[in-house]
Amino acid sequence: MENLLTRARLPSLNALRAFEAAARHMSLKKAAAELCVSQSAISHQIKALEAHLGVALFLRQARGVELTSRGELYYPALHTAFNSIAEATALIQQRESRNIITLQVYATFAIRWLLPRLSRFQELQPDFQVRLHTDQRDADLQHNDIDAAIMIGEPPQELVAEELFRANMRPVCSPGFLAREGPLTEPEDLVGKPLLQVYPSPEDWPNWFAGMGLGSRALVGSLQLESYEVAVNSAESGMGIMLGQEPYVAKSLSAGTLIEPLPGCTVENPNRWYLVSRPERWESAKMRTLRRWLKEQIADDENLAPIVSQLKG
């Protein structure tokens, strides 16, 4: 038997979608809203479909639309067909993404901590592939196809979250800056000095000053920078004092490109680090693998392990 697809020219897919949505809602307006087009565009598509078929599918009435007998015959078949297409598409995408972990992190966290460890993850977990996104903003998991994100600060209530670690903040600068601007012996000595402020985190310096008993000082005249990575590089070049925290400055402190001018003047950042995900993805095999690996890496980091042990205590 000859295939029907070879014997008849099918109507426009857009016209079929317009009719199916309008018939399902029994409303041209609702169909237009669903398909993100104008109501007149829906009406035009349906009229084109009716012209192609040579039959009327809707009765236009003052109160809205009503299916004709031909429309009632046509709608269930199209509804089933579109559902089948949607299910098949979801199945293919699920199989494609089953072993891909889409993770969003801040750029500085990726550069300073995550990227040096990811190659080891791929060695240990060859069945999984990490697709890394970086952004200075917090991830929008509700509207983007992201499995998980590492973020600092209170997670949105609609997400599942697990605390990873807390960070301590302390002033750091280059040796050359301290030689030029020092000596710095007390927290008060920082008042009036060139301070580097990461403007997406405006409370860092005020929180540190408050923790030192100096009140929540406004940073008048501080240099405003877009990220901690820029702040680290600026501090290393001698431009000012930044408020360093784990895991951003550990490598620079170890290398001696940054030093602590006020050893011991440390304040815990009230904003904690979390891994977050949507509830329906939290218990997937790839998310369980990622969570286990992250916690192992954090526990093995000598700069973070003491902070983690405080949490568990």
Q: Each residue of 229-276: pLDDT tens digit?
A: 999 999 999 999 999 998 899 999 999 999 999 999 999 999 999 999
**Domains held by the chain: number:** 3
Residues 108 and 126 in one domain: yes
Choose one of 96, 127, 153: the last residue of a domain: 96
Residues 180 and 263 in one domain: yes
Choose one of 96, 124, 146: the last residue of a domain: 96
Omega before residue 270 within 30° of 0, cis: no
**pTM to 2 decimal places:** 0.66
Residues 228 and 180 in one domain: yes
Average pLDDT of the residues of the chain: 88
Q: Each residue of 200-219: pLDDT tens digit?
A: 888 899 999 999 988 766 56
Domain enclosing residue 248, as ranges:
168-268
Pairwise CA distance, residues 30 & 32, whole Å: 5
Q: Each residue of 118-130: pLDDT tens digit?
A: 988 989 888 888 9
Residues 104 and 91 in one domain: no
**Comparison of pLDDT for 108 and 93, the residue scoring more:** 108
**Residue 91: what pLDDT?**
65
**Residue 7: what pLDDT?**
52
CATH value at residue 141: 3.40.190.10
Helix axes 305-312, 285-300, angle to 10 degrees: 110
Res. 176: pLDDT tops 90: yes
Residues 190 and 144 in one domain: no
